[in-house]
Chain A
Amino acid sequence: MQEISKTGRTIVVIAVLIILAIISAVALSYLQSKNNPSHGELETWTPSDSLHPVTIHQPDLMPMVDSGKKDREGKAVMIRCNNCHDTKEPNTLTEKASDLNDFHQHMTFRHNSLKCASCHHPDDYESLRLADGSSVTFSNVMDLCAQCHGPQYRDYNNGSHGGMNGYWDLSRGPRTRNNCVDCHDSHAPAYPKVMPVFPPKTRVGTQGAGGHQH
């Protein structure tokens, strides 16, 4: 009888030791995982109310035209629009450079069938004119473009048209955006053809993407 209880006691002691070992192992691994940052809680992103600004790049220079003459340093002499247009009678039907006797001769116009006065204000050539006759400054040219290019203006406002720089997360930093006229020449707005940069040197470049011979 005594022998049996001895064996029983040993078994109980061993069992208790094993249970203790398991508990301490679990506790240790828990502590370790607590110390380990990669298993820890992640910081939560919350959109903040105080957002940084989105700045649209503005063409702030006074509009000028090339006189066709060069100064002593070889730079083109630029002349303000109102130098001439203040006194000249506007010809609202002009649509080609060849219609004119001087100035604007180098310019090409490929903007559908628009005439100069479709956008330029005939009473004040240093501002632009909206379709309703109200004038708008050159720096707010996007209001003018938006009159005809609604889908592009909508996409621009949704962030899916036009280049940008800065932060996707406006709670952490500002963003700057291109103006229409940064990429599109208002007189010939189709995006020009360009030579691609950075030709590939890897095997992927000399063959098709999937490695097919063409």
Chain B
Amino acid sequence: MSGHHKESCGSHCGCHTPPSNGGNDEGLFNRRNLLKGAGATLGVAAFAKAMAPITEWKESTSVDEFLQTHYRELSKDQLAEVITRLEEETKNDYGAEVNISDVRPQKGVKFGYALNLSICVGCRRCAKACHEENNHDRTSGNSYITVLEMSKGSMDMEQGHADYNHPVPQPDKFYMPVQCQQCENPPCVDVCPVEATWKEPDGIVVVDYNWCIGCRYCEAACPYHARRFNWTKPEVPKEEINIEQGYLSNRIRPQGVMEKCTFCLHRTRKGKLPACLEACPTGARVFGNLLDPTSEIRTVLANKRVFVLKEELGTKPNFFYFFDE
């Protein structure tokens, strides 16, 4: 190899080029310079594209939001700052003056929900109330509640239909609203890779929307199809926004995070009934404190024929269904 002439590779491949002294007069437009130019242009474009998230960052994500720590590690002052920032962002994005609270669970309270399948007529008012209460995206018509039309005699929720659109109740059907069952043993919490979802002491499974990375593992893990994903930034007209919001519940969620029913904790932790119960025209829904032996929910559990969905999975729901007769 070393014996060969410098300018040639030594084979007959035609790569031999005459010494470049004569090439100077070709100026800028020789092959090498053109390739260099094209490469540089592509490189700059690729670099700009790669940097785009950072240059566009300021609009969607503030540095504070990026650096915000997990809800359970926030001190009181940090949380107050976060809430102020979120309220400002809602004001800027939606034009609504909202009040985001952080209501804590209480000792001696564990929430339970029961639903009377003999009474429910399937009118879907609960799903509508949830949609409005929890500031769901208006375009997708999202709701934490799916009302299933089931054939009498069947208990398999996978066979239910949610898209019925005829007068209800049909004589050969019964109607089963399904929402988060607030499991004692929640599979959605187990699979979260970043601990963005957890079970609170009063039994409610919550999500820190600012910690969630949107991987949707929890959606896949939930046997009750109770979790929802924010495919888009929620669109809610200013005048329809529910301004009483909770950090862990119905504040307007960012795009790309999971959300779920929280038994309206911004209401229930203040002693109020959840929105879906208040909307129910038949009184099929019973809500209360499982640790209070005089509560309505305890009376139902003690006296009615109660069952839970997919008991065999061992999720131990705190949401119960019952029949009158």
Contact = CB atoms under 8 A, between A and B. Distances in A.
Interface of A: 35-39, 42-47, 151, 155, 158-169, 171-173, 175, 178, 183, 191, 193-202, 204-210, 212, 214
A209 B123 contact: no
Contact of A167 (B109, B147, B273, B294): B273
Contact of B143 (A39, A161, A193, A198): A198
B104 A43 contact: yes
A205 B123 CA distance: 15
Interface of B: 71-76, 79, 104-109, 114, 116, 119, 121-125, 127-128, 131, 140-143, 146-148, 157-169, 178, 201, 225, 268, 270-273, 277-278, 280-283, 286-289, 292, 294-296, 299-300, 303-304, 324
Given A163-B281, A164-B273, A200 B122 contact: no
B165 A199 contact: yes
A158 B271 contact: no
Contacts of A162: 282-283
Contacts of A172: 270-271
Given A161-B116, A199-B165, A201-B140, A45 B108 contact: yes
B121 A194 contact: yes
B78 to A, nearest CB: 9
A45 B292 CA distance: 10
Interface of A is mostly: loop
A209 B148 CA distance: 8
A183 B281 CA distance: 8
A-B residue pairs, 7 tightest by C-beta: A159-B296, A172-B271, A169-B271, A210-B158, A201-B141, A198-B128, A162-B283
A191 B278 CA distance: 18
A195 B167 contact: yes
B114 A168 contact: no
B148 A45 contact: no
Nearest to A167: B271
A156 B317 CA distance: 25
A196 B123 contact: yes
A162 B283 CA distance: 4
A164 B277 contact: yes
A44 to B, nearest CB: 4
Q: Which interface residue of A175, A183, A200, A202 has the most chain B CB atoms within 10 A?
A: A200
Nearest to A44: B107
Contacts of B165: 196, 199
A207 to B, nearest CB: 8
Contact of B160 (A191, A195, A209): A209
A194 B169 CA distance: 7
Contacts of A164: 273, 277-278, 283
Contact of B282 (A163, A169, A175, A197): A163
A191 B116 contact: no
18 contacts: A38-B72, A38-B73, A42-B107, A159-B299, A160-B299, A161-B116, A161-B283, A164-B283, A166-B272, A166-B273, A194-B121, A195-B168, A197-B124, A198-B124, A200-B163, A202-B141, A206-B163, A208-B159
Contacts of A208: 158-162
Contacts of B71: 38
Nearest to B165: A199
Contacts of B127: 198, 200
Given A168-B287, A194-B121, A158 B300 contact: yes
Nearest to B116: A160
Contact of B299 (A42, A151, A158): A158
A168 B273 contact: yes
Contacts of A165: 273, 278
B168 A193 contact: yes
B75 A209 contact: no
Nearest to A169: B271
A24 to B, nearest CB: 20
A176 to B, nearest CB: 10
Nearest to B163: A205
A182 B116 CA distance: 19
